[in-house]
Amino acid sequence: MRHRLAILALPVLAMTLLVAAAPAQAGDEAPREYRVKAAFVQRFLEFVAWTNEHITPDGPMRIGVVGDSPMEAALQDLTGDPGVGRELLLCSADELAENGYGVVYVAATIDGLPRNEHPVWNDLHDLSSGILTIGEDPGFHLSGGVINFFAQGDRLRFSVSERAATGAGLKISSKLMRLALIVD
């Protein structure tokens, strides 16, 4: 069993090491932490099934970033690169009301306010069916977020809320669930 988990973790670990080992380029806006998070987000796409009719398994994936985070720059570096077999389209947070978002990354603060105090969070909650929400603050799951990044020592880890995933109409592969901290 441990051997199988180690084999499953190899692609994620390899991607993390490649991104972390890459030298920072002149003008590189995204800190290394966010380049690693962006690589994880790209890999998560392989392990999540959307029931939303606007998301097709082979079509491009629309990703939005909401809030004050260098994640937008990190994800921008991955757009146009099919990476795991699908193109990423980074879209403005102003377009959240439009259909077709597959992933929305939510920063801990939005326009300087805590995430859960900003009106866009409520708008996102209303639209969250079929959207994989990913965050980076301790209370993210309590507010209905699906995946949350956290630091454990010097390692980047992630947790998954099965309840939020089910509520959003997402099916998360058992392979990804074995690597995650499950919060409910």
CATH number at 173 reads 3.40.50
Please state whether 150 falls in left (phi above 0), alpha (psi between -120 and 50) or beta.
beta
Q: Cα dist. 47→42, 171, 179 in Å?
A: 10, 8, 11
Its pTM stands at: 0.79
143 strand-pairing partners: none
Q: What's the number of domains the chain is made of?
A: 1
Task: Give me the pLDDT at residue 89, please.
Answer: 85
SS3 of 71, please? helix
Per-residue pLDDT of 52-78, as tens digits, reads: 777 877 788 889 888 878 998 999 888
Displacement of CA 175 from its chain's centroid (Å): 16
Task: Give me the pLDDT at residue 81, please.
Answer: 61
Find the largest Cα–Cα distance for the chain: 46
Q: What is the span of the domain harbouring residue 142?
A: 2-182
